[in-house]
Structure 1
């Protein structure tokens, strides 16, 4: 029996925005490992930049090495566990650096980590950086913010309209590198041909409305052009924060031949 495989295309871009002089976001993609990462750092001076850079570099290196050794036949449990271990190791490294260097005290970072394996996405996140999926023209947020505002919304204490104008938008309830244990939320999703996934920092999601994100992502254009237009839109609306975009698009690959088909062709 033949089956449709999936091919993935990736693109990553980051921009300081129009207000901040330095960029505390970090992004990375690995087409071979089918890995996508994004982090939004926090802390005084350049500490946020250090935290996000450490997180992306450490997790990318460890996950890519583990995926190369593990091969393609991975059980969900094993992949989840590998993600948790890599993130925990990065958490300890960032926490250790902040404790050893007074200028880095209190630094931390959000994280979105996506591992694409055939027809599935294993998605992990900490903080308020997000992942969206565009499917058949509909844009859906796959992650749930780990933030004070989201907790207030969930408790019925704030409406989404009130939250949108709150001055407490940047208060995250989870971050990497600030406590001994970093709680990585992991969810698994089925991937379909034509799906487009967007990982982004809040410098994009807070500056561009959902409807505009949908329109920009749905436009017929190459991934690098989509990423550039998303960043341009955030800057056009004020660019108050660093803006980071990671895109991953799934398409149908060549059909895999079954055993009988291969024997008949031999």
Structure 2
């Protein structure tokens, strides 16, 4: 399996600074996205630290381990890197009053052959488009999701709730963090989307799926997602990472690229 990646991050229309961060290591088939929170500039410090640390440390490990690493080893490496990133952000927050209380959501995707190891904390998401069908692969760690699960509110009520952005897990706010990890089988033609809530708060799943399904280069689809979120209000920073899976190489890969896949 071969993978193509594309990432975009935009401040949006309402906020003065961008607290999202993205990082991609194409050689390691690694994508990282984070949405920071905290006081003045602290959110962008937390998200930047997390994405930079995980890309460097996990990317280095993946490069050294190569294809010899099994999925259990990849999962453990991901856990260790996230634990270390959490400790780094937590210690920085406690070392400076300017960064007190900062933290970040996180979603990390490691593609290895025809498998995806996916880890997340908070309400940043991963979606998959397969054969025209969009599926959300992550479950938000948020108060809103807990209310939905308990049947306290309906999906329609959730869509207009004032508690949309209250997360129940975040990296860097405590000395330990709970990372949720899952595995997925990848099929040729799959398109994966990592995004901050600035995207899915502005666009429903049908709109996201329609843009991902376009027969256009990844860069164009990423730009359209950002533009659509801003056109619908752009009330938050919005970031996306796209990963497209294709089988084979050479001529087949060239044809797929010409078709915008």
**Could you say which TM-score interval applies, normalised by the shorter chain?**
over 0.9
Aligned to 1:125, what secondary structure does the other structure show? strand
1:145 is aligned to 140
Question: Partners of 1:214 and 1:71 in 2: how far apart?
Answer: 33
TM-score by length of 1: 0.93
1:187 is aligned to 182
Matched, 1:33 2:19: no
Q: Select the residue among 71, 75, 78 that pairs with 1:76.
A: 71
Q: Which has the larger radius of gyration?
A: 1
Q: Select the residue among 167, 170, 178 that pairs with 2:162.
A: 167
Please, which runs of 5 or more residues in structure 2 have no aligned partner? 251-261
For 1:67-146, list aligned pairs within 5 A. 67-146=62-141
> How much does 1:254 deviate?
3.9
TM-score by length of 2: 0.95
For 1:209-220, list aligned pairs within 5 A. 209-220=204-215
Question: Partners of 2:16 and 2:165 in 1: how far apart?
Answer: 19
Q: C-alpha deviations, 1:109-154, integer Å up to 9, x for none?
A: 0000000000000000000000000000000000000000000111
Residue correspondences, number? 250
Question: Partners of 1:223 and 1:254 in 2: how far apart?
Answer: 18
2:253 is aligned to none
Q: Select the residue among 154, 157, 178 that pairs with 2:152.
A: 157
1:222 is aligned to 217
1:240 is aligned to 235
Aligned to 1:71, what secondary structure does the other structure show? helix
> How much does 1:69 deviate?
1.1
Q: C-alpha deviations, 1:77-124, integer Å up to 9, x for none?
A: 111110000000000000000000001000000000000000000000
> How much does 1:73 deviate?
2.1
Question: Partners of 1:79 and 1:29 in 2: how far apart?
Answer: 17
> How much does 1:209 deviate?
1.3
Q: C-alpha deviations, 1:165-203, integer Å up to 9, x for none?
A: 110111000000001111110000000000000000000
Which stretch of structure 1 is more off in the superposition, 145-154 or 246-255? Answer: 246-255
Please, which runs of 5 or more residues in structure 1 have no aligned partner? 1-5, 256-266
Question: Partners of 2:75 and 2:188 in 1: how far apart?
Answer: 23
Poorly superposed stretches of 4+, deviation over 6 Å = none
Question: Partners of 1:242 and 1:253 in 2: how far apart?
Answer: 36
Matched, 1:250 2:245: yes
